[in-house]
Structure 1
Amino acid sequence: MDDNERLQFLIEKGNDVLKTYKPNPPNTFGFETLDSGQFIGWKTQALTFIQSILPSDSPYIEIFKSNVKKGFNTDVNEGIGILESVKEDLKLGLYKIKDEPTFQPATPLINIFEKFHIISRQLRNRYNTRPTLDVQDEYDLQNLLHSLLHLYFEDIRPEEWTPSYAGKSSRMDFLLKDFKLVIEVKKTRKGLTEKELGSQLIDDIGRYRSHPDCKTLICFTYDPEGLIGNPRGLENDLNRVDESGLIVKVIIRP
């Protein structure tokens, strides 16, 4: 059911509420009555719906709140009139429907990288010392990360070839083609200096700059032993939007 169909449904439901009207007997004092349960249900559905599709400062919302209160015939008629006006304006394109929030792939990815060390440590603690995955090298890192990516992504393409750079080509770790996003992962080791890691990351950035399916490059370096002396400094040096439009995000954890 699209928005216009939903509005029509609520208009018809309002008319059904009006049919519950029972006039007072002649020569008696009192108020006109509607079925209060049906009125409250319809009012709640109608207000919730227009709040979900219209910006919070829409005058339609404020008028509905102010005028549709007590459950008299006039309240329901004014509510129906508001719904009909919203429907008409939407069909004419005079009133913009609230945009649906779009999925931002970087949000779950950063959450995964922030929690990666905790997850890795937890995997080591198995009952009765049963076999487990201990992240000791980049292959272990890729294997665990690939599993975690399935929490949020359907199309995960590992080991795609990258274009030649400086006379050589290599494989990227993960391509999320739907989002034109590449994830490159590294694990620190003894002997890998901060300068060497920075040089590798710079080479990665240069390589992916010309890849047609890479508009965002996230370089995740897993440093469980804390071998990189100034991880925030290296991140700040390499995070950028370069001249080709490539967005680069370097994350070194923990």
Structure 2
Amino acid sequence: MGILEKVYSLIDKGNGVLASYRSPPPNVIGFPTCDSGLFATWKTQSLSFLEKQFSSTSPYYLEFQDKVKKAYTGSIRTGIGVLEAVKEEIESGEISIATDTKSPIQIIENLCDRFHLVARQLRERYNERETMDIQDEYDVQDLFHALLHLEFEDIRAEEWAPSNAGKSTRVDFLLKPERIVVEIKKTRKGLGAKEVGSQLIEDIHRYSSHPDCDALVCFVYDPDGRVANPRGLESDLNKDTDELVVKTYIRP
């Protein structure tokens, strides 16, 4: 959903809160109120949106926070008015808005998608100067490590994963602040779809107990097309659970 569409949605929700209006019982003095549950949800979502797009010190956020406090019709109309002002200024181009940012996993996915282009470009240097040719998995790790530095600051290589039945392994890259592990593989003779799948299934099992890992991104570099059905293998390995999120990218 785009930014402007989000503003429209919040305005519609505010009007929905107003539609839940109920007057005070007979002989009871008080202000007309609306459904408190709907009001609380709308207020929280609106403040979160205004803070994300304009910061908690912006006039829009401060006005909404100051005036929209209780489920009274007047308070709600004030909040809708703030959102209407935001909508009008976005439409007129009078204010700039924060652009949507990609998640860390989306950033890594983009690196996986472009990796082969980068590797190929490295082989085509001016005047046949010495360059880097991707020969094995260690070369893939080195180049991918360099690419990660474009987007991430804290990259920890060779972190030990918990042992499993007396056997232990090293994580290729741990992005500790993001709680993401990046596992690198490269296909070769004797390491095709079946072997890669078996290795990654074992890795997924191990990393599910890693203390700093909420998501495992598996990048399989397959320049020779040894994996006949890459999308099928990705689908078999990917999962999204409370225990671990797994994203697999087989490229090119």
Q: TM-score range by the shorter chain?
A: 0.5 to 0.7
Summarize the alignment of residues 14-93 of structure 1 with structure 2, pairs less than 5 Å apart. Answer: 55-56=7-8, 58=11, 87-92=62-67
Residue 180 of structure 2: aligned partner: 181
Give 1:170 deviation, angstroms.
Answer: 1.0
Is the contact made by 1:223 and 1:253 (CA closer than 8 Å) also made in structure 2?
yes
Letter in 2 for 1:205: I
Name the CA distance, whole Å, in 2 between partners of 1:85 and 1:175: 39
Answering whether residue 81 of structure 2 is matched by residue 129 of structure 1, we say no
Larger Rg: 1
For residue 231 of structure 1, report the CA deviation from its aligned partner: 1.1
Query: Which has the larger displacement, 95-104 or 110-119?
Result: 95-104
Q: Distance in 1 between matches of 2:156 and 2:235?
A: 28
Maintained 8 Å contact 1:182/1:214: yes
Query: Could you say which residue in structure 1 is the equivalent of 2:194?
Result: 195
Percent sequence identity over matched residues? 53
Answer yes or no: is the 8 Å Cα contact 1:165–1:206 preserved in 2. no
Query: Where do 1:235-254 residues align within 5 Å?
Result: 235-242=234-241, 245-254=243-252
* Aligned-partner SS, 1:159: strand
In structure 2, do the counterparts of structure 1 residues 85 and 143 end up closer, same or farther at CA, with 3 Å as the change threshold? closer
- RMSD (Å), alpha carbons: 2.9
Q: Which AA in structure 2 matches 1:55?
A: V
Match of 2:43 in 1: none
Helix, strand or coil: the match of 1:172? strand
Q: In the comparison of the two structures, how many residue pairs are matched?
A: 179
CA offsets, 1:94-126, max 9 Å, x none? 459999756510111111100110110000001
Post-superposition offset of 1:230: 1.3
Give the equivalent residue in structure 1 for 2:42.
none
> In structure 1, what residue type is equivalent to 2:202?
D
Structure 1 unpaired stretches of 5+? 1-50, 60-82
Whether the aligned pair in 2 keeps the contact of 1:172 and 1:182 (CA below 8 Å) is: yes
